[in-house]
Structure 1
Amino acid sequence: MKKNGYLLLGLILTLNSSSVWGAAVPQLQRAVDVVLPCEYVLLQTGHGGLGFMRQKVTLILRNITMSTEQQMDPLPDYQLPEEPEMTIFEATVNLAPLPFAERLLHVECEGEEVVCEISPLFSQFYAAHIRLPEISIAIVARTESTNDVSDQPLSDNTIVPMTVGLLVSSYPPLQKASVSEEVTLNCEVWGDTEGVNVEWHLQKDGKGQRLNPEDDSHITMTQEEQEGRKDLSLIIRQLLAHDDGTYICAVTSGQHQLQQILQLQIREPPQVTVFLSTDPTPTVTCCTNRYYPLDVEVSWLLNGVPVTHASPITSSHRRNKDGTYNLTSYLEAPMPPTGAPPDIYTCAVSHVSSDDPIEVQVHVLPPETMVSSGILGFIISFIVFIVALKGIYMFAQTMREGEREMKKTK
């Protein structure tokens, strides 16, 4: 009994240890201040018409909550200068933890180029837009001032306190994908998400259209919502070439409207095949199929050198049902003289989907070599045919012998 008691105790301790080690790593939250160089942009009317006034300012995002898995050294709060060298917009951010907060925190430290613009909206509201290579952020903030700021230039070197009421983020701003893949165009709203609406639009070839998932089975809009966050991303399944374009996530909340612009580029590399035909004249044909976008360049090489003895004939672009394109190029290929080595023709296809040209080769043999190859091919085919006949005959013999044995047994 005593031994069994020790075993039971050991089992309990082992299970308890496993549950501790298997538990999720707790997330630590902390508030940080992010300082960004920015530009104040004001639309003005002058004698020459409408124009933009730009002024360098500083944007401080105070109290951004970030989550980490490990304890970090404390960071001092940003101290406002008594006499600022330029106007400072001090925006307090009382939102849920932002997954990109740490990315914003290190932008200035790493010396990266960041696009940041602040513009007045109406009454006491400002809009700020922050763009990095992999993330775009739009913010609506309200000032404590009771004055209408929509058409007023900034006072010199002042501090403008604000509170962020709504933030819209998307990442990445540019995606590249192939036909038949699935992509998610990210668009998330942070803040008071009650009453928030979203519309997705597609801009292409100078035309715009509103996307409606109810009318198109290959697109879906997520509606995941947590406290202080709403995911309004667009999912596109089984991509087609015509899905290429500029997508706009337009978020409306009360009187405010923010939008995120995302680029989706379809990049489908061409499928290249080359073959030789001798009737009526020796010709090499290069088929370039199922590529997108349209721009493609086909060139010919003979033994590694650009072809100069003839000009290729190239067809027009032919469009497939999925929006991809086909193109065919023909080139006369005279046979090399008797006794000469074979000529190597290379079809080189350049396309934006590939960093290097796609090259496919075909060999054009001297006449006697082609005849010999033809005879050899006929002999091999004949041998294969005879072997197959012999196999069928032996199989039939085996079946007949089996039937005789069965009759004898009966």
Structure 2
Amino acid sequence: MMMIELVWFGCCLAFVYGNGLADVVIPCSLLEVGGMGHSALLSKTPATLIFKDVLVGSGEALETITPFVPPSPPDPDAILIEAKVSSPQIPHANLLLHADCNEQEVVCELSHFFTHESSESSDPAYFMVSLAVEGVEFSTTLVLETLTMKKNESALIQNKLGLPLSPMGTLLTEVIFLVFSDKKSVSAPLRSEVVLTCRFKQPAIPLAQEVGIEWRMQHRGKGEKVLEMKTRLDDADGSSVVHAERGGSTVDATRVVKDGDASVTLSDVKVVDEGTYICTVTVGPLHGQQAIRLHITQPPHVFLSKEKLYFKSESSQTLSCHSTKYYPLDVQMEWLFISPTDKEPLLFPDQGSLSSHRQHGDGTYSLTSHLSVPSTVSAGTKIICRVTHLDPHITLSVSLVVECRQPDSYWWVLGFLIITTLFFMQVMR
């Protein structure tokens, strides 16, 4: 006899079966746009999404608490969408199971989806679902298709959607297409190669043979196409059509066909490549999107204006610390010292002055800090310039040690002449 566990995860409910399948219940919002033009308003209606037969693996150890119970009698005002998940399966479904236990919010947004061939009154109806787990590098977009149900006089109709409900009061659907990414944010150094992940799944029997991949980049209100590909799942001759707007951007057509992998590779990334990349996968009449944020980072090169520091007189000397060719702009510079009798570095009371930020042609920045070192600083004191960029726990430091005071060149020359004169006088005797 098959064992069944009923588990309630705060906001997420899971019915876990002995075969590693689970039914997961997630609170959701139905998004609708009302009005026209500038007066259009976005409304949100509470909904509940029930994923059926989600593959979570047999290793899940879940304790029995409280099961989800649909309203009895069925409520035609409640939006309960039951989605069958068999093929394709939802990737990383365990994240949904454990989100509440890990104090992570599951963001679920639901909206009507219309293909070129469908309309508001068409049967079946389609819905698009966007799922993301807070604090986790994973998100997915799913397309749900309603299962055929006879509209008869005794059938219960959902009041807002106008669609027939099951005897349990749920709208029966199945997942037929999904696009997902396990990296919503990527950081890459300048001039490196970076991969932005985007994958898709569809039923074992494909919805269509034609697949379209488009990558676009948006940054500061501007958008541009990066790459577009058209191929076929039965493409044995390798006749894919690829148009790359950005040089050095590629999508592997073989992996698109074989693995559903639409990831794009960007080579030699620059500051201008930073932005939000939108991956759109189209299969037949359906499409889904994922957005991946690309951050460009470059640590600064730090160096001092002098290799040695010693005082010739009682006047102070200026020591400069140069932080160059870094990105982004966020940088902090500070001066410290360790005297021969100290064990830990101390901040200079006077931190000197900063130059203005200078931007180079490649988009990177430079900054200089000038420190006035008083002559009272004793020999053997170590002066440190410490630079923090992005991560406050990672710093770059350069330093020098103050050397013994050297005599003024005038007195040194005079002393040399006196000694030389005395030497010759002794020789001439």
Q: Tell me the amino acid that sits aligned with residue 205 of structure 1.
A: R
1:142 aligns to 2:159 (yes or no): no
Quote the Cα distance in structure 1 between the aligned partners of 2:375 and 2:407: 10
Aligned to 2:252: 222
1:262 aligns to 2:265 (yes or no): no
Quote the Cα distance in structure 2 between the aligned partners of 1:40 and 1:159: 15
1:28-85 alpha-carbon deviations (Å, 9 max, x no partner): 9854322212112222239x9322222222111223345x5x6778999987554468
1:253 aligns to 2:283 (yes or no): yes
Quote the Cα distance in structure 2 between the aligned partners of 1:201 and 1:140: 21
Q: State the secondary structure of the residue aligned to 2:35.
A: strand
1:194 aligns to 2:196 (yes or no): no
Alpha-carbon distance change, 366 to 315 in structure 1, aligned in 2, over 3 angstroms: farther
Alpha-carbon distance change, 301 to 256 in structure 1, aligned in 2, over 3 angstroms: same
Aligned to 1:368: 406
Quote the Cα distance in structure 1 between the aligned partners of 2:331 and 2:301: 12
Quote the Cα distance in structure 2 between the aligned partners of 1:220 and 1:171: 19
Aligned sequence identity (%):
27
8 A Cα contact 2:88 2:177, kept in partner: no
| TM-score between both structures, scaled by the size of structure 2 | 0.66
8 A Cα contact 1:336 1:342, kept in partner: no
Aligned to 1:119: 111
1:286-345 alpha-carbon deviations (Å, 9 max, x no partner): 11123111232323345523442x842515314254x433323333324337xx444443
Q: Tell me the amino acid that sits aligned with residue 222 of structure 1.
A: D
Quote the Cα distance in structure 2 between the aligned partners of 1:172 and 1:127: 21
Query: Normalized per residue, which structure has more helix?
Result: 1
Listed as ranges, the matches of 1:235-254 within 5 Å are: 235-254=265-284
Quote the Cα distance in structure 2 between the aligned partners of 1:73 and 1:357: 43
1:227-248 alpha-carbon deviations (Å, 9 max, x no partner): 7x51111122343333221110
8 A Cα contact 2:316 2:375, kept in partner: no
> Paired residue for 1:333, among 373, 376, 394?
373
Q: Please, what is the CA RMSD of the aligned residues?
A: 3.9
Equivalenced residue count is: 334
Alpha-carbon distance change, 207 to 119 in structure 1, aligned in 2, over 3 angstroms: same
Quote the Cα distance in structure 1 between the aligned partners of 2:277 and 2:73: 43
Quote the Cα distance in structure 1 between the aligned partners of 2:74 and 2:321: 67
Alpha-carbon distance change, 313 to 118 in structure 1, aligned in 2, over 3 angstroms: closer
> Paired residue for 1:305, among 344, 347, 351?
347
Alpha-carbon distance change, 103 to 29 in structure 1, aligned in 2, over 3 angstroms: farther
> Paired residue for 1:55, among 27, 32, 45?
45
Alpha-carbon distance change, 143 to 290 in structure 1, aligned in 2, over 3 angstroms: same
Aligned to 1:351: 389
8 A Cα contact 1:275 1:285, kept in partner: yes
1:119-153 alpha-carbon deviations (Å, 9 max, x no partner): 12342221110012221111111224799xxxx84
Aligned-pair distance for 1:154?
A: 5.1
Q: State the secondary structure of the residue aligned to 2:51.
A: strand
Quote the Cα distance in structure 1 between the aligned partners of 2:171 and 2:276: 34
Quote the Cα distance in structure 1 between the aligned partners of 2:364 and 2:217: 19
1:324 aligns to 2:314 (yes or no): no
Q: State the secondary structure of the residue aligned to 1:232.
A: coil
Aligned to 1:374: none
The gaps in structure 1 that reach 5 residues or longer are 1-27, 372-410
Alpha-carbon distance change, 316 to 226 in structure 1, aligned in 2, over 3 angstroms: closer
Quote the Cα distance in structure 2 between the aligned partners of 1:222 and 1:370: 70
| TM-score between both structures, scaled by the size of structure 1 | 0.68
Aligned-pair distance for 1:349?
A: 2.1
8 A Cα contact 1:301 1:307, kept in partner: no
Listed as ranges, the matches of 1:3-22 within 5 Å are: none
Aligned to 1:184: 195
1:102 aligns to 2:86 (yes or no): no
Quote the Cα distance in structure 2 between the aligned partners of 1:271 and 1:299: 15
Aligned-pair distance for 1:99?
A: 3.8
The gaps in structure 2 that reach 5 residues or longer are 1-17, 115-119, 152-158, 228-242, 339-345, 410-429
Q: Tell me the amino acid that sits aligned with residue 345 of structure 1.
A: I
Q: Tell me the amino acid that sits aligned with residue 346 of structure 1.
A: I
Quote the Cα distance in structure 2 between the aligned partners of 1:238 and 1:79: 54
Q: Tell me the amino acid that sits aligned with residue 284 of structure 1.
A: L
1:175-230 alpha-carbon deviations (Å, 9 max, x no partner): 22222443321111111363231210111232111003645443211331467x51
Q: State the secondary structure of the residue aligned to 2:210.
A: coil
Alpha-carbon distance change, 266 to 326 in structure 1, aligned in 2, over 3 angstroms: same
